[in-house]
Amino acid sequence: MHFAWAFLLPLLLLAPVVAGVYVWSLRRRRKQAVKYSSVALLRTVIPSRSRWRRHVPAALLIACLAVLAIASARPQVSQDVPTARTSIMLALDVSRSMCATDVDPNRIAVEQKAAKEFVNKQVAGTRMGLIIFAGTAQLAVAPTRDRSALNQAIDNLSVANGTAIGAAILKSLDALSTVNPDVKPVGDIPTPPSDFNVGPGDTFTPFSDQPGDTTPTTAPTPPGQHGYVSDIVVLLTDGANTRGIAPLDAVPYAIDRRVRVYTIGFGTTDPAPLACTAAQLGGDDSAFGGSFGPGGVNGGGLGFRGGRSPLRADLPTLQAIADRTGGKSYAAQDAGQLQKVFSGLPRDVTVQKQKHEITATFAVIGALLALAAVAASIRWSPYP
């Protein structure tokens, strides 16, 4: 317990002072008592009562003084409350490998269902935004408390080529900067050539090692005494970065802004056939550059069949992203595991201790004690 006006706490000494005066007055009365020759006569004059009852009004009055003295010092208690400014950016992978059918019916459908459940279970007051990324990262929904807008955007996800994990992190930071003044916008940074792509079995050089790049490559020390901001990024992907800034080169921007990134690697380790519905393709068969099945894009059922998932989730990189930013990394290979991961993500992301004044509570208690003292004095008065 804390006190806003602690300098008034010495008023508590009034309680023992009054108690001392009361005891002194009782002893003084005994010395000045009139001696009766007949005890029987005295009993007929003064009604009998329990010896302790005569002290109850004084005890209640002394307790009243103590409680009111505490109330005058304005007592306060600390409580953990969720920050009202909490925002969560959900960054979802919509690369073509999300059409893999190693989970039923395919990865993107499972991703959509789990993401919507995560959105709908957030506590009131939490802002959420949506970033979608394939070859580039785009802001689909700015941070908002409108759950219906988020659910609609998640329902409308469609796949495209490429996986830009690093760009998704930076785009998420920019989105958070619009609702939290403590998060600086990233702004423009150098981008790699547009044909920077990785296929099965290919190797690539991180953008940070390419000539002319000025992106920081070493991560600064994670936040210390200043802690993290209440906002977080939740990033889900089933592959490795193939476009844009390398993920670990984007991490220092998150660290500098004290934003934690929680990563989820989704999918099995074995390649799986690709199959997406017409809606998941977004009506754009150029997103794949592959062959389509008999149903076609608008033929109903599975609009695309062909190939196998070319990439697996880069779990070591996802782990490094989470470790360096203060978040946590997860892996999920099926719908049940993914839903469990989303359920385990922080909801009340950050709590702060806030002081609440409870002066009124003590004042009410003091008033009740005073009334009780008066009532006891009247009830047990020796005089009619």
pLDDT score of 296 = 29
Transcribe 186-219 into DSSP letters: --------TT----TT-----GGGSTT-----SP
Structure tokens at 373: 């003292």
More confident residue, 329 or 12: 329
List strands edge to edge, sheet with 2-3. 2-3, 75-82, 351-357
Q: What is the DSSP letter of 10?
A: G
Mean pLDDT value across residues 74-82: 76
Q: Would you say 154 and 115 are in contact if contact means Cβ atoms under 8 Å apart?
A: yes
User: Which of helix, strand or coil describes residue 22?
Assistant: helix
More confident residue, 172 or 58: 172
Q: How confident is the model at residue 301 (pLDDT cuts 50, 70, 90)?
A: very low
pLDDT score of 27 = 77
Q: Which residue segments constitute the domains of the chain, with CATH numbers given?
A: 2-79+354-379 (no CATH), 84-193+204-272+309-349 (3.40.50.410)
Mean pLDDT value across residues 185-191: 74
Cα separation, 110 vs 271, whole angstroms: 17
Structure tokens at 312: 């697996």
Q: Would you say 322 and 262 are in contact if contact means Cβ atoms under 8 Å apart?
A: yes
Write out pLDDT tens, residues 247-295: 999 999 999 999 999 999 998 877 778 899 888 887 554 444 333 233 3
Cα separation, 208 vs 192, whole angstroms: 9
pLDDT of 160 over the 90 cut? yes
